Every structure is written in C-alpha cells, then in structure tokens.
Amino acid sequence: MRELRDILDAFGALRGDQTAILASVVHTAGSTYRRPGARLLVLPGDEMIGLIGGGCLEGDLLEHALRVRASDEPTLVHYDATAEDDLVWGLGLGCAGVVDVLLEPVSPAQPGPLTALTAWRATRETGALATGLEDPWLGRHWALHPDGRVDGAPDDDLRAALAECLESGRGRQLPAAGGRVSIEIARPPLRLVIFGAGPDAMPVARLALELGWEVELSDPRPAYAQPERFPGARVVCVPSGEAVAQMAVRDDTYTIVMTHHYLHDRALLAGLLPSATPYIGLLGPRQRADDLIAELLEEGVTMTEKQLERLHGPAGLDLGGDGPEAIALSLIAEIQAVAEGRSGGWLRARKGPIHDPLLP
C-alpha cells in the first residue's frame, strides 16, 4: 500500500517531457514473493521505486526497463522458477513459482493505469483494472470504476468479467479476443483510527504509516492530541462521547481503543459496537473488557453476538515480547490478519500456497 503511494508520488513529480517505466506483476502461479498488482517504477535516472521480487528480480527488470525505454514499447517478461535447479537465469529466485511482469512506458501525457489508480486512491474506492498480456492488446488497459463506468472495454465479455471480479473482490486471468487479459482488484489503503493518543499510541501509528495505512487519532486530552507527536497522521481533540461520530467510522475503518481510561473507553465502545467497523481492538486484560461490556448492557446498550465478535479484548496476536513497540507489532499484526481474513498462525502450517490463488 505504501509502495503504490510512493509510486504515484514519484510519477506525479515527473516533468512533462520525462518518461518512466512501470513494471507491474500481472500473473503469478505457485509460490511467489508478490501477488498481481505489485508494482515498481523505474525513474528517468534509473532509480527504482517499489519492490517486486524481494531484490532477486529487480536487477534483471532494470535491464528490461532500459530496453523498453529505448523502444518505447511495452513488453511482458516471464519468470519461471519451478525447475528443480533454483538458479534460473542466475537469479536464484528460490520461490518455486511463476511471475509475469508487464513493463510499459508511462509519462504525464500517457499515464497508463496510473490515472485510474490515482483516482481510486483519492476517493478511497475499489476498482477493477484489466490489462492486455498479448498482442495486439499487449499493454492496453481497461478500468471499471466504482460508479459503473468502464474506460475503453472492447467487448461485452470483458466488461462482464470486470464486473464479476469487482463484485467478488478477486482478480483473474482470462482469454479474450485480443489475447490473454489479466484483471486485478485495486483497493484503497487500510484506514486505522486510534482512540487514545498517549505515548504507547506513537509506535502503533508509526508502524501503520510505514505499511501505507491511513492513520487518524482522537483523544479528549489536549496534551496528547498534538499533531506534531504523530507526523503523517491526522490528529483531533474530541470528547470520547462524540469521537466515533466525529471520526466517521465506517465499514472500511479499523479501530483501536487505547485511552487507558475506563470511562473514556466505555463511551467509545458504546459508539463503536453499533458502528460498521470490522475490527475493534481494546487494550487491557480480558476481565476489563468483560466489565465494560457488562456495564454497557446494564445501561441499556443493545449489542448482537455478531457485533461482539468484532471486539478483540485484549487486542493483538500472541507474539510475546514486551514494551510499546512489541505491543504495537502485536496490534498491527492482528489487524492485518483480520483485514485479510487470516488466522495469524504459522505459515509453515498453512495448507496450500501462501497467497490465495486467482479465480480460474
């Protein structure tokens, strides 16, 4: 998520006469470092923004990018590390997977897919992007916008496939009249609202921002609600009873309650439990969470089992460790797992590939 932000910022800084090379993962199979939608931008001075292969592909991709820059034509690069000998092309991939990367020239006059990706990010909406992988459609793009508009869809089949992928939330690759087409789902960055801006909230905000999340904090105490303490985040000073409404908590908003003040936390939970947030993290022991819920019920606050399932108290994954930074890691890891529908267990115990396969 941070990667796309950095790419869009770097692209936006290009002069009108400058061209960069955009490398996009458009297909994967087996075990791979990144999934479709991962991107890397090669700037005019050969600086690379982003990461596709954990460092093992980037040098080779730079060589391809130089050729694309010279030809001004897109190209598809195919990496296959499924052979028993890991040292394919001398790159030592070690992932035993297949990766297809599209490299294309982009400029302010011809931004390729970056126009749609910029617009969706600005409005925090999800869109579907189709990319041609073979001639005569190699490097062509078609975008299904959240409002139903389709940019340049060539036929009804592709239009229907874009709509299907957007509805399911999963990309796919499919045959088309102009050759294979890859469809990816572009989602906005995760939005995190932290209720409580004490010292232990600082590493939580820093880690979330490092991941590219949008971070906002609310605290009723003016001494804590200081924007300079949380660079890159939005910070407001709001009474706890008004904070949930003021922070516009929606179904795309993940929340952490960490004021460490019983009455503040109770007022916040009263607003968060009926809200649409998919995650409520509450710091403190389990008994404290149980006591807060019991008091809210006594006060007549109604809550369903489904609403209570979103409450994680105590919040965080069981990682061990101590101190604000370790606690922040535990909290952020749990939110990441919830957002991706994962349990947060050992990868070595996972059955099947690490990443969910694309739709057939």
What confidence tens digit (pLDDT) does each residue in 108-158 have? 999 999 999 999 999 999 999 999 999 999 999 999 999 999 988 678 889
Mean local confidence (pLDDT), 35-40: 89
313-358 pLDDT per residue, tens: 999 999 998 899 999 999 999 999 999 998 888 888 877 666 665 5
Question: Could you please report the per-residue DSSP string of 7-61?
Answer: HHHHHHT--TT--EEEEEEEEEEES-SS-TT-EEEE-TTS-EEE-SSTTSSHHHH
**pLDDT confidence tier of residue 96, bands split at 50, 70 and 90:** low
Exposure string of 72-97, with b = 16+ CB inside 10 Å and e = fewer, is eebbbbebebeeeeeeeeebebebeb
Q: Residue 116 half-sphere exposure, CB side, CA atoms within 13 Å? A: 23
How far is residue 163's CA from residue 313's CA, in Å, rounded to a whole number? 38
| pLDDT at residue 88 greater than cutoff 60 | no
**pLDDT confidence tier of residue 360, bands split at 50, 70 and 90:** low
Element (H, E) at 334: helix 324-339
Mean local confidence (pLDDT), 172-196: 93
| pLDDT at residue 311 greater than cutoff 80 | yes
- Tokens standing for 104? 């294309």
- Those residues whose C-beta lies under 8 Å from the C-beta of residue 78, and which sit 6 or more positions away, are 98, 99, 100
Cα end-to-end span (Å), the chain = 25
238-262 pLDDT per residue, tens: 999 999 999 999 999 999 999 999 9
**pTM given for the model:** 0.86
Q: What residue ranges define each of the domains in the chain, with the CATH number in brackets?
A: 1-111 (no CATH), 114-188 (no CATH), 191-339 (3.40.50.720)
